[in-house]
Amino acid sequence: MGRKKYIVAITGASGSVLALRFIGELLKTSEVHLIISTSAFSVIKDETGNDWNTAALSTLREYFKSEHLFYSKEGDLYCPLLSGTFLNDGMIVIPCSMKTLSGIANGYGENIVQRAADVTLKERRRLILVPREMPFSAIHLENMLKLSRIGVTIAPPVMAFYTKPKSIDDMLNFITGKLLDNLSISHNLFKRWGN
């Protein structure tokens, strides 16, 4: 049985550290087709020190140490990810800015991230959004509810404390593990309740 294939998009909300951890774990079992929005590059640089503004596939593969990573530039409106004929197992937007969430909820498709999500929805594939905002406004919540009602998983990166996290790594592992659980991918990133 071959590797599963996921589209992963990083948008300009805070939380790129979580995105990089998630992608690293996902690559252990799956093929990842990465999109980085234009506004995400400065956030990635601020939060991680990685200056990927002119990133090439080789740079990203070297960072993640994986040949199972593929990269589409945001301006590439002809990339295969934007067609329903590109077979995949779903899409994850992590972190998902409120602008991106709104565009997806309202079928706007302004850029490659929103268009790929729109295709994911129309093809009835798995879509997980990791919104990074706090507090949520009524507009944010209405957009999330609209998407949830059509089967989108809304997974804000909310910490649990029963795992007794002692570091940021512990927190990142918990959230990454919960997202992998949603994809039915096994892992040992945190101790489960009652174990």
Does residue 22 sit within a domain?
yes
Q: What is the pLDDT of residue 149?
A: 98
Residue 138 within a domain: yes
> Which CATH number belongs to the domain containing residue 54 in this structure?
3.40.50.1950
What is the C-alpha separation between 124 and 192, in angstroms, rounded? 30
- For the chain, the domain total comes to 1
Quote the pLDDT of residue 195: 65
> Counting runs of H as helices and runs of E as strands, what totals does the chain give?
7, 6
191: in domain = no
List C-alpha distances in Å: 180 to 107, 118, 176. Answer: 26, 22, 6
- For residue 93, the enclosing domain spans 4-182
**Is 154 a domain residue?**
yes
pLDDT tens digits along 160-175: 888 889 999 999 999 9
Give the per-residue pLDDT at 73.
Answer: 86
- Identify whether 146 is part of a domain: yes
Positive or negative CA dihedral for 68, 65, 115, 155? positive
* Helix %, strand %, coil % of the chain (to 5): 40, 15, 45
- Which residue carries 């329903």 as its tokens? 84
Residue 189 belongs to some domain of the structure: no
| Pairing of β 4-10 and β 153-154 | unpaired
Distance CA 113, CA 139 (A): 20
Give the mean pLDDT of the chain: 94
Cβ-based neighbour number of residue 75 at 10 Å:
10
On the question of a cis peptide bond just before residue 165, with omega within 30 degrees of 0, the verdict is no
Residues ≥6 apart with Cβ < 8 Å to 36: 9, 10, 44, 52, 55, 71, 74
Can you give the pLDDT at residue 109? 87
- Residue 152 is assigned to a structural domain of this protein: yes
What pLDDT digit, counting tens, does each position of 35-92 carry?
999 999 999 999 999 999 887 889 999 999 999 999 998 888 889 999 999 999 999 9
